[in-house]
């Protein structure tokens, strides 16, 4: 399949790689260009000549250049070239150097699977593990007690005073939570640091968030009463991680044709967090694939918005299993066409929000895809999407301008993520074709 | 809930007693929990209430669904054209005017995805070029955002709309409205300006007054004459310059009388053109170009000053020379031809030999750049090229300025020829190649393009000392080379092997190449 320019832009590790890629994305820089059903290749003339390959099944790339960026400018350039000058990249038989790499990739994947299976079978020193776990449990419990005291002090002294104190109190408390081995709480606190004074309804919002934090502490202490799924959620929210091997081995597995509904990257403390929202075409299941990148390193896998692939996902444990990992890919990624699988109207989606929130009260985001909604300005809510019944859902950010431009006011299918208050539109189907809606700034 | 928030803001410790109640079903849950601390109970209640609110977010109903965009009358550009246009928008803005023009010529419109970006463009010239290619979608989209209202204003180009912009717009919009109205109804535009004349600040008055150059007519004279008594020097100078361009104005007549009083011309003796005539002229020490006698006043007469001639010279020019410049610039060059019965070439040559050569050339050059004066641009250009550098050390570097400014006032082929002379010349030049090349309107004739590329190839082959000057000419050349010459240019870049060149050539050629390729792509992709 071929990607649109927007989809390629989404693969770039940063803006400078992208502009460098555009420079090599012209036929003159290339020789030996070709494509097959599964791959793209070509030789790029720079200071030296580099061999560039792209595996079209998952958009993994390989280039002989020494760049540490990934995909490098040559690989992005090749993708851009195949999008802008398709005739320059003709169908051809796969050269040996490409064949070899593709072969190595599938062999490596097989080996990885084997290793995972082995690791799952390795006997662990159960006693030592239990001791470590107990130690951590103690520290977390102590940390939560300290947190409770701090929260109670805040309420006793009044939240109004926070506006003048800046982010400091939250940061101090967050650092304590890191020491107490509850990093999940720490990052929640850091997110609250900028809230006082930032918007007119900050007291209500801050109180709500502090309240949820209190609920989390309360819930963890009464873990026995929660049931195993919700307890798993609470533990993850505090910052207990579930190893990927464990998820792959024991997590709930769902095989389906998975559509990448949309993607968003958040910058958090020198780490970029990428969220890819998936929807199973036949099961209707939603899934969240998280990937992390520190200091400009690449996200390990490419999930391109508006493509779909058959795969078996394994879900992390929880009362509302959303986060998942790809256990096994079973087909190449293909471009999506036609309408999006999703809620028929806003009310149906809000009902889904209610059910999901009831199952997981600390729910932060939910994927959303809505059929046939128009874009409209609402006096009280600002920009919204509106369904055929006239029900609106407020929007986040400024992607509504592109949505309006592309739709011309006509109802279209949109996808995005719901943050509890507003919908951030990430994609839309225009004339049967998926369009990425974020990324105008990239 | 407000009760909870108020309680928490104030602090439970400040005597604000009260039980934490949300007024929802959450209260029952909180009551059932065994929690001793009032603060902790308040927090749990607030948390539960937040969850309750998030889960139960009520559906809102919209006022009315928007009327969709009207259906289009022209086709959108292809997706590949859209990709090329996006590259133009993000990295090659300089190509935007060409791209938009091509789009308009092909009867196409911008792909909708590009609209938000182009509607946010601020340049007034670009906006004019955008209007025809926005399509119904663009107009519709602009209706949704008050910051894009300029589209609707432009689509509706009538006096009422212009009057609105004149009255309500910001400075640039007002100026544009005034100039546009001058094209349609010069008298009305002038009366707009007269209406606000007293309220405007001095620099605004000068700027608006200069706009009267559009559609300048003898009927503007009384207003301009009045402006000669303005408090502001800039306004007086602008009014005076405009009056100088109205040959029948009283000011122009006064200026001509002054020229008559202090300038005279002795034509070349050899009017018959015979060999004997030339020899006789030489024997008598006469110039074959004729002689200009000039005697500027020793002090600035009061009436001259009232007519907008400033007392103080610019740097590098003596007082008397300055007054002469100001005077000459206010007399149409054709008047000199008429009065002295000589061609522009003869007069410029005679001026070059005179003591006042710089002042005369400056005055004439100012006139030529301000209003069309056929036949003058070329001899004046030659003057500036040949003038010794020491002579032209005047503020504002007139030689380098006029060597490109005058090109725009010559017939195209002549301008190209002169620019090429400069390009092919070795050694230092009195003007930047960038400015010269930029002054030639594109697309160039095939012959000019080939000569430019040949000269470039020679520079690439040798180790030219003027590498930077040449590199600076690549940017404007990339915009102006005709499409048919692009393959030649690309082949030349390839042969040059940019990586082996020094002095910044690699980077310069890379930009040159990417601009040329993008132009080719635009041409191919924006096609019927």
**Do B519 and B496 reside in the same domain of the chain?**
yes
Residue B64 lies in a domain: no
CA distance A63 to A43: 9
Q: What is the pLDDT of residues B34-44, one digit of tens each?
A: 888 889 999 99
Of A323, A291, A324, A328, the residue nearest A309 (C-alpha): A328
- Which phi and psi (to 5°) does residue A289 adopt? -105, 120
A346-436 has the same fold as A244-335: yes
- Which residues neighbour B492 within 8 Å (Cβ) at sequence distance 6 or greater? B453, B456, B457, B460
Site from B34, B66, B68, B495 to mutate, A interface, most A CB atoms within 10 angstroms: B66
Q: What is the pLDDT of residues B386-433, one digit of tens each?
A: 887 777 677 666 888 898 899 989 998 999 999 998 888 877 788 888
For the segment(s) A244-335, the CATH number from 3.40.630, 1.10.8, 2.40.50, 3.30.1240 is: 2.40.50
∠ at Cα A305 (A304, A306), nearest 5°? 110
CA distance A359 to A342: 20
Domain ranges in chain A are 5-118, 128-238, 244-335, 346-436
CA distances to A243, B315, B360 from B299, in Å: 94, 18, 18
Residue B267 lies in a domain: yes
Q: Does B54 touch chain A (CB under 8 A)?
A: yes
Of B90, B94, B103, the residue nearest B133 (C-alpha): B103
For the segment(s) A346-436, the CATH number from 2.40.360, 1.10.8, 3.10.350, 2.40.50 is: 2.40.50
Contact A377 B144 (CB under 8 A): yes
Q: What is the pLDDT of residue B40?
A: 92
Chain B residues whose beta carbon lies within 8 Å of the beta carbon of residue A363 = 54
Q: Does A96 touch chain B (CB under 8 A)?
A: no
Of A42, A11, A21, A26, the residue nearest A84 (C-alpha): A26
- What is the total count of domains within chain B? 5
Mean pLDDT of B505-523: 91
Helix (H) or strand (E) holding B264: strand B263-266
Contact A209 B60 (CB under 8 A): no
CA distance B61 to A386: 8
Residue B45 lies in a domain: yes
- Which residues neighbour B192 within 8 Å (Cβ) at sequence distance 6 or greater? B163, B166, B178, B181
CA distance A35 to A417: 35
Residue B332 lies in a domain: yes
Rounded to the nearest angstrom, the minimum Cα separation between B37 and chain A is: 8
Rounded to the nearest angstrom, the minimum Cα separation between B27 and chain A is: 14
Cβ pair A252, A392 in contact under 8 A? no
Q: Does B21 touch chain A (CB under 8 A)?
A: no
Chain B residues whose beta carbon lies within 8 Å of the beta carbon of residue A153 = 39
**Do B334 and B357 reside in the same domain of the chain?**
yes
Rounded to the nearest angstrom, the minimum Cα separation between A246 and chain B is: 30
CA distances to A80, A216, A417, B33 from A234, in Å: 44, 7, 22, 19
Q: Does B53 touch chain A (CB under 8 A)?
A: yes
- Which residues neighbour A276 within 8 Å (Cβ) at sequence distance 6 or greater? A260, A262, A263, A288, A289, A291, A303, A305
Mean pLDDT of B467-494: 91
What interface predicted TM-score (ipTM) does this complex get?
0.80
**Do B268 and B381 reside in the same domain of the chain?**
yes
Q: Does B73 touch chain A (CB under 8 A)?
A: no
**Do B276 and B369 reside in the same domain of the chain?**
yes
Starting at the edge strand found earlier in the chain, the sheet holding B60-61 runs: A433-436, A423-430, A412-418, A366-378, A382-386, A391-394, B60-61
Q: Does A364 touch chain B (CB under 8 A)?
A: no
- Which phi and psi (to 5°) does residue A71 adopt? -65, 150
How many helices and strands (H and E) does chain B possess? 30, 3
Q: Does B111 touch chain A (CB under 8 A)?
A: no
Site from B13, B113, B494 to mutate, A interface, most A CB atoms within 10 angstroms: B113
Residue B344 lies in a domain: yes
| Facing A378 at nearest CB: one of B14, B63, B69 | B63
Q: Which domain holds residue B510?
A: 422-525
Chain A residues whose beta carbon lies within 8 Å of the beta carbon of residue B40 = 148, 151-152, 214
Starting at the edge strand found earlier in the chain, the sheet holding A39-45 runs: A30-35, A39-45, A49-55, A60-63
Of B195, B219, B243, which marks where a domain is finished?
Answer: B243
**Do B306 and B396 reside in the same domain of the chain?**
yes
Of B221, B243, B265, which marks where a domain is finished?
Answer: B243
pLDDT in tens, chain A (442 residues): 567 777 787 777 776 777 778 778 878 788 889 988 888 999 988 767 888 998 888 888 888 888 777 788 888 888 888 887 888 888 888 888 888 888 888 888 788 777 777 766 666 678 888 888 888 989 999 999 999 999 999 999 999 989 888 899 999 999 999 999 999 999 999 989 989 988 888 999 999 999 999 999 999 999 889 999 999 999 999 999 999 999 999 999 999 999 999 999 988 777 889 999 999 999 999 999 999 988 777 888 899 999 999 999 999 999 999 999 999 999 989 999 999 999 999 999 999 999 999 999 999 999 999 999 999 888 888 899 999 988 999 999 888 999 999 999 899 999 999 999 999 999 999 989 999 986 544 4
Q: What is the pLDDT of residue B84?
A: 92
Q: Does B113 touch chain A (CB under 8 A)?
A: yes
Q: What is the pLDDT of residues B57-106, one digit of tens each?
A: 888 887 676 788 889 999 999 989 999 999 999 889 999 999 999 999 99
Residue B452 lies in a domain: yes
**Do B502 and B475 reside in the same domain of the chain?**
yes
Helix (H) or strand (E) holding B28: helix B26-32
């Amino acid at each position: 399949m071929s990607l649109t320019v927007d989809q390629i832009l989404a693969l770039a590790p940063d803006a400078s790689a992208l502009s460098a890629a555009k420079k090599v994305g012209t036929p003159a820089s290339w020789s030996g260009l070709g494509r097959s059903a599964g791959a793209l290749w070509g030789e790029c003339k720079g200071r030296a000549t580099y061999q560039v390959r792209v595996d079209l099944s998952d958009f993994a790339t390989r280039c002989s250049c020494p760049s540490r960026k990934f995909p490098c400018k040559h690989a992005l350039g090749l993708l851009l070239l195949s999008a802008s000058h398709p005739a320059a990249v003709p169908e051809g038989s796969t050269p040996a150097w490409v064949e070899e790499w593709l072969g190595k990739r599938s062999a490596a994947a097989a080996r990885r699977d084997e290793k995972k299976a082995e690791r799952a079978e390795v006997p662990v020193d159960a006693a030592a593990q239990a001791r470590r776990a107990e130690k951590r449990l103690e520290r977390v419990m102590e940390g939560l007690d300290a947190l409770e005291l701090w929260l109670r002090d805040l309420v006793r002294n009044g939240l109004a005073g926070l506006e003048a104190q800046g982010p400091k109190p939250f940061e101090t408390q967050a650092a304590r939570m890191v020491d107490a081995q509850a990093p999940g709480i720490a990052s929640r606190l850091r997110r609250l640091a900028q809230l006082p004074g930032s918007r007119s309804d900050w007291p209500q919002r801050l109180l709500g968030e502090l309240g949820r934090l209190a609920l989390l502490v309360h819930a963890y202490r009464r873990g026995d009463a929660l049931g195993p799924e919700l307890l798993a959620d609470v533990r993850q929210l505090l910052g207990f991680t579930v190893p990927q091997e464990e998820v792959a081995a024991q997590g709930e597995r769902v095989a389906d044709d998975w559509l990448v509904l949309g993607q968003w990257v958040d910058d958090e403390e020198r780490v970029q967090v990428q969220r890819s929202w998936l929807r199973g075409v036949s099961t209707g299941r939603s899934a969240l694939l998280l990937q992390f990148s520190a200091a400009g390193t690449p996200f390990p896998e490419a999930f391109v918005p508006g493509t779909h692939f058959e795969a078996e996902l394994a879900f992390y444990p929880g009362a509302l299993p959303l986060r998942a990992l790809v256990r096994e890919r079973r087909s190449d990624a293909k471009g999506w066409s036609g309408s999006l699988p999703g809620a028929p109207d806003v009310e149906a989606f809000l009902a889904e929000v209610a059910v999901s929130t009831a199952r997981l009260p600390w729910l932060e985001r939910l994927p959303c895809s809505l059929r046939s909604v128009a874009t409209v300005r609402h006096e009280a809510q600002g920009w919204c999407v509106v369904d055929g019944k006239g029900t609106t859902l407020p929007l986040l950010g400024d992607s509504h301008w592109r949505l309006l431009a592309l739709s011309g006011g006509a109802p279209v299918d949109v996808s995005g993520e719901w943050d509890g208050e507003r919908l951030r539109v990430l994609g839309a189907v225009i004339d049967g074709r998926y369009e990425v809606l974020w990324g105008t700034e990239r | 809930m407000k009760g909870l928030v108020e309680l928490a803001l104030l602090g439970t410790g400040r005597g604000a007693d009260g039980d934490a109640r949300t007024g929802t079903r959450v209260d029952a849950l909180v009551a059932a929990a065994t929690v001793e601390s009032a603060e902790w109970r308040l927090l749990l209640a607030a948390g539960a209430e937040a969850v309750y609110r998030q889960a139960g977010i009520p559906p809102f109903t919209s006022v009315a669904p928007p009327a969709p965009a009207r259906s289009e009358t022209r086709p959108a550009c292809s997706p590949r054209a859209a990709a090329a246009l996006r590259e133009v928008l993000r990295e090659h803005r300089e190509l935007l005017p060409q791209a938009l023009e091509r789009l308009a010529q092909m009867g196409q419109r911008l792909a909708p995805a590009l609209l938000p970006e182009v509607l946010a463009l601020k340049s007034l010239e670009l906006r004019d070029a955008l209007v025809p290619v926005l399509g119904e979608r663009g107009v519709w989209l602009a209706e949704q955002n008050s910051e894009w209202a300029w589209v609707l204003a432009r689509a509706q180009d009538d006096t009422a709309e212009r009057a609105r912009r004149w009255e309500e717009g910001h400075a640039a919009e007002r100026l544009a409205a005034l100039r546009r109205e001058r094209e349609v109804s010069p008298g009305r535009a002038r009366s707009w300006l007269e209406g606000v004349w007293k309220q405007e600040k001095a620099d605004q008055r000068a700027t608006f007054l200069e706009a009267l150059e559009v559609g300048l007519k003898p009927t503007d004279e009384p207003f301009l004459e009045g402006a000669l008594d303005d408090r502001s020097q800039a306004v007086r100078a602008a009014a005076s310059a405009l009056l100088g361009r109205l040959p029948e104005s009283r000011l122009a007549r006064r200026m001509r009388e002054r020229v008559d009083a202090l300038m005279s011309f002795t034509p070349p003796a050899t009017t018959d053109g015979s060999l004997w005539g030339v020899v006789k002229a030489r024997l008598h020490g006469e110039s074959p170009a004729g002689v200009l006698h000039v005697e500027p006043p020793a002090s600035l007469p009061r009436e001259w000053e009232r007519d907008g001639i400033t007392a103080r010279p610019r740097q590098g020019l003596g007082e008397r020379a300055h007054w002469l410049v100001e005077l000459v610039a206010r007399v149409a060059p054709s008047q000199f031809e008429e009065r002295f019965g000589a061609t522009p070439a003869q007069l410029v040559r005679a001026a070059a030999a005179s003591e006042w050569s710089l002042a005369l050339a400056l005055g004439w050059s100012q006139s030529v750049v301000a209003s069309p004066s056929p036949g003058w641009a070329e001899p004046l250009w030659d003057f500036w090229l040949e003038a010794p550098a020491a002579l032209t050390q005047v503020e504002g570097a007139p030689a380098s300025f006029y060597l490109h400014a005058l090109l725009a006032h010559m017939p195209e082929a002549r301008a190209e020829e002169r620019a090429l002379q400069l390009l092919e010349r070795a050694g230092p030049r009195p003007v930047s190649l960038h400015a010269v090349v930029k002054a030639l309107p594109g697309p160039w004739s095939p012959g000019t393009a080939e000569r430019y590329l040949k000269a470039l190839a020679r520079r690439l082959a040798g180790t030219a000392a003027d590498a930077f000057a040449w590199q600076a000419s690549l940017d404007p050349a990339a915009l102006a080379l005709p499409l048919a010459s692009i393959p030649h240019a690309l082949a030349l870049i390839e042969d040059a092997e940019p990586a082996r060149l020094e002095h910044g050539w690699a980077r310069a050629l890379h930009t040159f190449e990417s601009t040329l390729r993008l132009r080719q792509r635009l041409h191919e992709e924006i096609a019927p």
